[in-house]
């Protein structure tokens, strides 16, 4: 990607990658300009604002490997989230990706009643400081953490790194492990839990289940290693071999040791079998789950990257709750 000049509106040019050879010009541009819809880009192409190898482009034109495709951005982005600064830490950054340490309580994407203060909006604010045009670069969320889970995430800046690292995630070539405080005194030292996880049968839209009546179950594998034992709480490391929604929380609850403070699957959660008694405490401010290690091969540079993050004070303080 390179700007052709610094006038307003600015123009940018991109080289067609092999895997995008033969696609329509608006679809190709939408890969590089992820805050624009194909419809908006098609409209700019139709208005004579795009070219291929310095020749004016026409609507529905297809582009091919090695060609230079340019566009003058006379329209603003139409998918741009409201950029907002937020509480997270950048551990690593290069032209292709960012590794961040997310705080508990922060939603990754705007959803439902959480339309502000999300991680995506905070990263968009950061990216907007790096470009001459607001919204030129859009954060690519490769994997997510639950709102009340803290820790490591990798976020991409452009489509090629997003595509390649997503393929690595799907193939299980990335290593993710979490630290958790779980209810009870765990007797085993190490255990591999292999239980399919599907949607909860009770009609809950976000809850998952490892029960036999779960809907659309998919194979899930977690390796659990005990780190520390306390009287009523155990600290464990959980390594994921699959990436099912709520996987650690569901697996640990299923073996009788739910994550401490879990708002859904814990002893005070929504799925408890008995109603809460008078005087019982509601769910804690966060659950005790922290993404502590992340290892993967850089999608462009092809070098191995390893990151670690210690649980924050609010995580450690959960074990001290009465």
Question: In this structure, what token pair is assigned to residue 75?
Answer: 């329209």
Q: What share of the chain is helix, strand, coil (3-state, %, to 5)?
A: 20, 30, 50
User: Across the strands, what pairs with 121?
Assistant: none
| Whole-number average pLDDT of the chain | 89
Fold identical between 88-173+298-317 and 176-291?
Answer: yes
CATH topology classification for 2-72: 3.10.290
Q: What is the mean pLDDT of residues 180-199?
A: 95
The yes-or-no verdict on residue 203 having pLDDT over 70 is: no
Q: What is the pLDDT of residues 255-293, one digit of tens each?
A: 999 999 898 898 765 555 444 444 444 445 789 999 999
Determine the Cα–Cα distance for residues 111 and 122; give it in Å rounded to an integer: 15
Say which of 5, 26, 128, 146 is annotated catalytic: 146
**CA atoms within 13 Å, Cβ hemisphere of 316:** 4
Whether the per-residue pLDDT at 205 is higher than 50: the answer is: yes
Indicate the fold that domain 88-173+298-317 takes in CATH.
Pseudouridine synthase (3.30.2350)
Name the CATH superfamily for 176-291.
Pseudouridine synthase (3.30.2350.10)
- Greater confidence (104 vs 132) lies with 104
Q: 30-48 pLDDT, tens per residue?
A: 999 999 999 999 999 999 9
Residues 6+ apart with CB under 8 A from 271: 200, 202, 207, 264, 265
Question: Distance between CA 239 and CA 118 in Å, rounded?
Answer: 26
Q: How far apart are CA 238 and CA 182, in angstroms?
A: 11
Taking CA 84 as the corner, what is the angle to CA 245 and CA 124, rounded to the nearest 5 degrees? 65
pTM across the whole model:
0.86
- In this predicted model, what pLDDT tens digit does every residue of 7-31 receive, in sequence order? 578 999 999 999 999 999 999 999 9
pLDDT at residue 282, as a whole number: 44
Mean pLDDT of 104-112: 89
Tokens of 319: 């074990």
Whether residue 16 contacts residue 65, with contact meaning beta carbons closer than 8 Å, is answered with yes
The lowest-confidence range among 47-61, 148-162, 268-282 is 268-282
Catalytic annotation present for 304 = no
Kindly write down the DSSP assignment for every residue of 123-158, as one continuous string: HHHHHHTTSSSTTSS--EE-S---TT-EEEEEEESS
Is 210 or 2 the better-scoring residue by pLDDT? Answer: 210
Q: Return the domain boundaries, the chain.
A: 2-72, 88-173+298-317, 176-291
């Amino acid at each position: 990607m390179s700007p052709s000049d610094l006038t307003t509106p600015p123009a940018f040019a991109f080289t067609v990658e092999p895997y995008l050879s033969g696609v329509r010009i608006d679809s190709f541009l939408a890969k590089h300009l992820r805050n624009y819809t194909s419809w908006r880009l098609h409209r700019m192409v139709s208005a004579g604002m795009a070219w291929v190898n310095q020749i004016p482009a026409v609507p529905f034109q297809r582009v091919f490997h090695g060609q230079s495709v340019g566009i003058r951005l006379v329209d603003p982005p139409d998918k741009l989230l409201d950029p907002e600064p937020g509480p997270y830490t950048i551990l690593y950054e290069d032209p292709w990706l960012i590794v961040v340490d997310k705080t508990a309580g922060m939603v990754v994407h705007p959803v439902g009643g959480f339309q502000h203060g999300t991680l995506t909006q905070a990263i968009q604010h950061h990216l907007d400081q790096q470009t001459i045009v607001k919204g030129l670069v859009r954060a690519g969320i490769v994997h997510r953490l639950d709102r009340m889970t803290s820790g490591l995430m990798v976020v991409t800046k452009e489509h090629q790194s997003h595509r390649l690292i997503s393929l690595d995630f799907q193939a299980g070539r990335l290593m993710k492990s979490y630290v958790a405080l779980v209810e009870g005194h765990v007797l085993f030292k190490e255990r591999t839990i292999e239980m399919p996880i599907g949607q909860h049968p009770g009609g809950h839209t976000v809850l998952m289940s490892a029960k036999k009546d779960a809907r659309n179950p998919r194979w899930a594998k977690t390796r659990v290693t005990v780190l520390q034992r306390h009287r009523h709480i155990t600290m464990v490391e959980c390594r994921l071999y699959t990436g099912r929604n709520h996987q650690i929380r569901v697996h640990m609850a299923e073996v009788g040791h739910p994550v401490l403070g879990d708002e859904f699957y814990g002893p005070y959660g929504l799925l408890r079998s008995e109603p809460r008694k008078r005087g019982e405490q509601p769910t804690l401010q966060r659950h005790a789950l922290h993404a502590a290690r992340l290892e993967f091969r850089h999608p462009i540079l092809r070098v191995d990257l390893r990151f670690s993050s210690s649980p924050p004070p609010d995580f450690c303080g959960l074990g001290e709750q009465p």
